[in-house]
Amino acid sequence: MHGFSYKNASLFCDDVDLAPLAAEHGTPLYVYSATTILDHYRRLDAALAGVDHEVAYAVKANSNLSVLRLLANEGAGFDIVSGGELFRVIKAGGDPAHCTFAGVGKTREEIVYALEQGIYSFNVESEEELRYLNEVAGELGVIAPAAVRVNPNVDAKTHKYISTGKSENKFGVDFEAIPSLYERAAKELPHIKLRGLQMHIGSQLTSIAPFIEAVEKVAPLAKQLKEKHSIEFWSIGGGIGIIYQESLASGTIDWWENQPEQERPLTIEQYGREIVPRLKNLGLRILLEPGRFIVGNAGVLLTRCLYEKKGRAKTFKIVDAGMNDLIRPALYEGHHEIVPLKQPQSNERVAVDVVGPICESGDFFCQNRELPDFQPGDFIALMSAGAYGFVMASNYNSRPLPAEILVEGDAATVIRKRQSLEDLIEGEL
Ligand code: LLP
């Protein structure tokens, strides 16, 4: 589910009317539904009920402290990729002992910080990194818990920039090289405790097949490592895709909930049904690292139309959000539904490009899309912007970062203030 729907022709996030919210706080404005975030977390947790597991939320998807706090209170673990993300998790009340640390380029400072904080596991991406981790742990006189990321060479069939499980990607260690690496590590690296195995084949997967392929390929390896090296966990990564494209014809924006299951791309219940039986008898703790599934459909970016520019070839709707606020369309040709906050009276549609104010031709949210004919002054919502939205925003063109709001029932709380012009130059000489 998600918490966005029209009530009396106004778009609501749960019990909060979004147009007055946008008017009060200004645009561009990120708005998240706490109910939706919690619903997704709980449904995923329930889908995995048949196996000993932990959901380690991928902080990179949305790292606002209030979002992290919400999930920490639910008992989530966290998958982090930097010292900065660990700092955020700790500030939000998360437990470092439930954090896994991924990424191909961990620095000495990050490793020391994570060792001091006592994280659950370093998810190591190369033999070189494992040796360096051993060295740093040795200097500190501690043992570093580690899992190696296996690259299973499985095609995730997603956008090339977010596919990670093929041999040509920079991630992980070749499937075939894993057993000998664990042997060497056990013999030669006294400051490493091999605690698990990790994999992640890509992001925004909308079919179950690549997940099944990867799990079936790697399960015997996980079993072997458990027998030989007593590993205790296997993280099967994140990557569960969400629906970005919705039919607005009916005037609702949650139609997929009503679709027959076989016509939906991938549901979390299907994921649980297919994956759990394949993991059940391994005797390993299963970790999951979902980011987008938890927060993607739980957030929107609100923006106001500034101008309508009728060019010779096209009509442009120019809005006050730009690619610096939401870069997914520019970077991955990502599709975000665009809906007016006031539901249009007629079903009439016009073909338009919705573009931002940034001085780049790639600064668009859609091209030649049939949309309701909203006008300057009107607010619109870019849907499904809760994951990889604000976290990828930048100050490009010296634009202050937008504010973020968390809705809980009928309460809307500012969880990050809009940046001021003074904020833009803080730290500069
Ligand atoms: N675990 C690892 C090791 C990852 O690299 C990622 C995402 C995740 C978990 C979480 O994946 P998710 O469940 O969110 O698919 N900025 C891109 C997505 C980049 C994903 C990077 N890694 C986008 O906007 O589509």
Whether residue 69 lies inside any domain: the answer is yes
Do 301 and 241 have their domain in common?
no
Whether residue 429 lies inside any domain: the answer is no
Do 226 and 81 have their domain in common?
yes
86 lines ligand 1 (CB under 6 A): no
Q: What is the pLDDT of residue 265?
A: 66
Last residue of a domain, one of 262, 294, 326: 294
Q: What is the pLDDT of residue 250?
A: 37
Last residue of a domain, one of 243, 270, 294: 294
- For residues 318 and 308, what is the distance between their CA atoms, to the nearest angstrom? 6
Q: Which of 41, 59, 60, 271 to mutate to test the pocket of ligand 1 (most atoms within 8 A of CB)?
A: 60
Do 17 and 82 have their domain in common?
no
Q: What is the CATH number of the domain that holds 404?
A: 2.40.37.10
Whether residue 413 lies inside any domain: the answer is yes
Do 250 and 290 have their domain in common?
yes
Q: Please report where in the chains the tokens 């219940």 appear, as a residue.
A: 269
Q: What is the pLDDT of residue 255?
A: 42
- For residues 75 and 164, what is the distance between their CA atoms, to the nearest angstrom? 28
**Closest ligand 1 atom to Cα of 328:** 24
Q: What is the CATH number of the domain that holds 218?
A: 3.20.20.10
Compute the distance from residue 70 Cα to the ligand 1 centre, in Å: 20
Whether residue 266 lies inside any domain: the answer is yes
SS3 1: coil
103 lines ligand 1 (CB under 6 A): no
Query: 33 near 51, Cβ under 8 Å?
Result: no
DSSP 402: P
Do 264 and 307 have their domain in common?
no
Do 40 and 138 have their domain in common?
yes
Burial environment of residue 388 by CB neighbours within 10 A (0 to 12, 13 to 18, 19 or more): buried
Whether residue 328 lies inside any domain: the answer is yes
Q: What is the pLDDT of residue 264?
A: 57
Cα–Cα distances (Å) from 154 to 163, 174, 217, 273, 366, in that order, read: 10, 11, 9, 21, 31
Whether residue 67 lies inside any domain: the answer is yes
415 lines ligand 1 (CB under 6 A): no
Do 13 and 60 have their domain in common?
no
Closest residue by Cα to atom 19, ligand 1, is 162
175 lines ligand 1 (CB under 6 A): no
Do 23 and 136 have their domain in common?
no
Query: Among candidates 244, 400, 412, which has minimal Cα distance to 320?
Result: 400
Do 289 and 391 have their domain in common?
no
Last residue of a domain, one of 294, 315, 350: 294
Instruction: Determine which helix (DSSP H) or strand (DSSP E) holds 150, and give its type and residue range.
Output: strand 144-151
Do 172 and 63 have their domain in common?
yes
Whether residue 207 lies inside any domain: the answer is yes
Q: Known catalytic residues?
A: 359
- For residues 332 and 392, what is the distance between their CA atoms, to the nearest angstrom? 13
- The pLDDT tens digits along the chain (429 residues) read 679 999 999 999 999 999 999 999 999 999 999 999 999 999 999 999 999 999 999 999 999 999 999 999 999 999 999 999 999 999 999 999 999 999 999 999 999 999 999 999 999 999 999 999 999 999 999 999 999 999 999 987 777 777 777 777 788 999 999 999 999 999 999 999 999 999 999 999 988 999 999 999 999 999 999 999 999 999 999 999 998 887 543 334 444 444 555 455 688 999 999 999 999 999 999 999 999 999 999 999 999 999 999 989 999 999 999 999 999 999 998 999 999 999 988 889 999 999 999 999 999 999 999 999 999 999 999 999 999 999 999 999 999 999 999 999 999 999 999 999 999 999 999
Tell me which residue range forms the domain holding 343: 4-30+297-424
Query: 5 near 12, Cβ under 8 Å?
Result: yes
Q: What is the pLDDT of residue 253?
A: 42
Do 217 and 318 have their domain in common?
no
Domain count, the chain: 2
